[in-house]
A and B are shown apart, each in its own frame.
Chain A
């Protein structure tokens, strides 16, 4: 049973990544969209590099959240062709593997996006993530995981709604406030230095949020897909 859940999760993850690897269009579109958001911040805030780098953590996370939101919407749309989701549901074994597989696929996509986006942001916004790089990476991964946990769950829930493009961010962004606060403040402290040693609190917040919602979402996911 345990291995069947892991196998099914892996199969769904691999399938989604393979589709992405073979087509590649949506990934490059995501990268350019995220870079475009950074440019818009530059135009909105002005070319003053001191201001841009002071706001860097927040701007980076807004770019990640907007881009991630768009890619989440696509997660379950790829299953709509020829009853893909019904097929997945009819395979024997744990239905939670669908959620876990999609969650890991979204998480990996976002991490790859960040690998490209962070150097671009570092250049455009004059950020210095290299000084405390492990801390910066840790916070980014924790934030991205929290985003993917709730994001994948709500993407699946809103899949069959009318106006789902509107509903996903409307449900997702308020629920993500703790992740957003934790990630933005943690990233800012990792970038600018942390004389008062406040970063630990934000890391604990992110870890608690990730664990609580991972457990809750995995637990009640079968109710989302019920027919």
Chain B
């Protein structure tokens, strides 16, 4: 399989998706900021929910995508799965970090501390470290095929590990409010939250398309360098 065969997303459709995403994200933010009333107990700070939960959702979604792409790569050895995996890992790290920062900002006024050793918070931080390891391994491997194979293995091990990390931290500490679920929230809050989840998911698809395009371009450059220098890496 050569790099020139890699499928490319249609730029026109990607632009259309980008415009749609922008509109839905704007609508979700407006609804979260102005449409729903502030929380009776926590006040305005509770509005962080409408970005914190979607960010955490994207973090988990990304790492699931990394896992699936890693498995597909190891079975089919098609470079496009590897490039999709690294795109998902990078976007996942951004949203994991966002979810952590937002959780911390939310924690200060509600719990009185920037950080608690809460199971979900701690697992998210460990998950971030696992996938930073994934990206770092890639930057230290020169051969594209080995890089893809090694990082796919790490993507699989990491994905198997995260639930066990969560359970172990859960046994270690148990003092978080139960996860927000439709049952513990009033109707209008749920709709606004779902709207924001949908907006972030659209944003995710759009970012994946852009990042994958970039990954293909990077591979082209790498391939050109390898041929020009007779296999020597500069």
Using CB atoms and an 8 Å cutoff, list the residues of chain A in contact with chain B: 150, 153, 157-158, 160-164, 167, 170-171, 173-175, 177-178, 181-182, 185, 201-202, 205, 208-209, 212-213, 216-217, 220, 223-224, 226
Contact = CB atoms under 8 A, between A and B. Distances in A.
Contacts of B142: 162
Interface stretch (B18-26, B100-108, B125-133): B125-133
A226 B168 CA distance: 33
B74 A205 contact: no
A182 B160 CA distance: 17
A171 B164 contact: no
Given A212-B164, A220-B153, A223-B74, A175 B158 contact: yes
A153 B164 CA distance: 18
Contacts of B171: 181, 201-202, 205
Contacts of A174: 126, 129-130, 133, 161, 165
A199 to B, nearest CB: 12
B161 A181 contact: no
A220 B146 CA distance: 15
B169 interface: yes
Given A175-B130, A177-B126, A167 B154 contact: no
A170 B133 contact: yes
A161 B172 CA distance: 35
Given A175-B130, A177-B165, A157 B140 contact: no
A171 B154 contact: yes
Contact of A161 (B137, B161, B165): B137
Contacts of A160: 141, 146
A58 B219 CA distance: 45
Contacts of A217: 157
Closest 10 CB pairs of A and B: A178-B168, A174-B129, A171-B133, A161-B140, A162-B140, A181-B168, A174-B130, A178-B164, A170-B133, A177-B165
B172 to A, nearest CB: 5
Nearest to B171: A201
Contacts of A158: 137
A157 B153 contact: yes
A181 B130 contact: no
Contacts of B153: 157, 220, 223-224
Interface in B133-177: 133, 136-137, 140-142, 146, 149-150, 153-154, 156-158, 160-161, 164-165, 167-169, 171-172
Interface string B7-47: 00000000000000000000000000000000000000000
Given A220-B153, A223-B74, A177 B140 contact: no
A161 B154 CA distance: 14
Nearest to A176: B161
A212 B156 CA distance: 13
A174 B126 CA distance: 6
A103 to B, nearest CB: 15
A202 to B, nearest CB: 8
Nearest to A205: B168
Contacts of A175: 130, 157-158, 161
Contacts of B164: 178, 205, 208-209, 212
